[in-house]
Amino acid sequence: MKVLYILNATTVYGGATKSFMPLLEGMKENGVEVCVVVPDSAGIYDVLNKKGIETYVVKMKHNVYPYKVGIKGHLLYIPRIIGRLLVNWFAVRKLKNIFKNKKIDIIHTNVSVLDVGYRLSRFLGVSHIYHFREYADLDFGMYYFPSKKYLYKELKAEHSYALCITKGVMNHHHLNDFKNVRMIYDPVLPSVSTKPTQAVNHFFLYAGRIEETKGLLDLLEAYAVYVKETEKPMPLHVAGEKNDEKYWRQIQNFVDEHRLTQSVVFLGQVKDIEKLMGTAWAIVIPSRFEGFGRCMPEAMFNGCLVIGKDCAGTKEQFDNGLNYCGQEIGFRYQTQEKLVEILKYVSQMTVDERAKITDEAFETVVNTLSTDISVGKVLNFYKEILNDTVY
């Protein structure tokens, strides 16, 4: 079979891209012929070219309503909607010319907020898959154009299918009763039996974009209390790029006002984040609505203790761990007070106490979130689609 993948972004370190690459490699290893469409020639485009993968650059825009930020955002709201529609109309037209004489069996769009692939599939007469990696509204503040109801109508069309990365995402989009939808966790980890070992240092880690939905300010509020009430507090290292200047200023002001400049270290975007995870005493995941949350299993795979907010994808992974091994594979919290309590407790744990939890966490993620498992399930879904046995 030949599968055409359509990406919404080329950011190398974005969760959608990091989940896509092992899927792509896994499909190639299983004999699937692949080609990729990206919206620009940056980031992952170079990686794909170096791997010799058939790749095309076609400018595309998310099929969502623009953000209304400030006076400019309100004034340009309608023009931006029209602009996005025009960009995507030309994208579909260009893709039609590229693929009209090429054999494509399935078009797989890597997210749910881009409809160019679906439009192309209707022209080519092939099956299309939306990959629901996001809540959209809760995690990114995105709203489908023209409506969520219209998207669901597309999913009910002939030869239209979807994948959801967690049960939570599937529930949020009310797709449980859709027989053409599957829940398959993202491929995260290689299939290995030995936990990587590195020298561990005493610091807490935050790894993620610096934006409101990721909850860094919530973490800092709890961390400030922890520092105030702890004799020798562990420092907090913050790894991630800032996406929201206003929110970034709030972060800086909070750190200054609470005299945390000596305790909080901003690292910016870190290329080898997995290595950094392996050296941290614990990672804190305060995200309010994490679709899946790759950094959680990545941290566990690298032997890092996880502290996470008990909601959305983070909660689902904690629950899966509890069901799999019969004990908690990290520390979960719902309130700021509980997070402060956990920070105090974790910073006083012994190496052996910590290892007892991280060993169970490693076993859980390796046996439930390995690349082989995920790729195998997606490949079987492809085969069901082509054999017309989905329903």
Q: What was the pLDDT predicted at 102?
A: 92
Per-residue pLDDT of 165-220, as tens digits, reads 989 899 999 999 899 999 999 887 766 656 666 678 899 999 988 888 889 999 99
Domain range annotation of the chain: 2-187+370-387, 204-368
Per-residue pLDDT of 74-128, as tens digits, reads 899 999 999 999 999 999 999 999 999 999 999 999 999 999 999 999 999 999 9
Q: What was the pLDDT predicted at 192?
A: 62
Could you give the CA distance from residue 310 to residue 331 in angstroms, rounded to a whole number?
Answer: 9
Calculate mean pLDDT across residues 265-274: 87
Could you give the CA distance from residue 349 to residue 24 in angstroms, rounded to a whole number?
Answer: 40
Architecture of domain 204-368: 3-Layer(aba) Sandwich (3.40)
Domain 2-187+370-387 and domain 204-368 have a common topology? yes
Confidence of residue 308 (pLDDT cuts 50, 70, 90): very high
Q: What was the pLDDT predicted at 175?
A: 94
Q: Which CATH class name applies to 2-187+370-387? A: alpha beta
Say if residue 289's pLDDT is above 90.
Answer: no
Calculate mean pLDDT across residues 337-355: 94
Least confident segment among 157-161, 281-285, 326-330: 326-330
| Buried-exposed string 274-308: b where 16+ CB fall within 10 A, e elsewhere | bebbbbbbbbbbbbebbbbbbbbbbbbbbbbbbbb
Per-residue pLDDT of 13-69, as tens digits, reads 777 888 899 899 999 999 999 999 999 999 899 999 999 999 999 999 999 999 988
Confidence of residue 270 (pLDDT cuts 50, 70, 90): confident
Could you give the CA distance from residue 311 to residue 287 in angstroms, rounded to a whole number?
Answer: 8
CB 80, CB 28: distance < 8 Å: no
DSSP symbol at 213:
G
- Predicted TM-score (pTM) of the model is 0.81
State whether the Cα torsion 291-295-299-305 is positive or negative: negative
Say if residue 391's pLDDT is above 80.
Answer: no
Six-digit token string for 161: 């299918």
Confidence of residue 365 (pLDDT cuts 50, 70, 90): confident
Six-digit token string for 59: 């400018």
Per-residue pLDDT of 134-175, as tens digits, reads 998 887 889 999 999 999 999 999 999 999 998 989 999 999
CB 287, CB 314: distance < 8 Å: yes
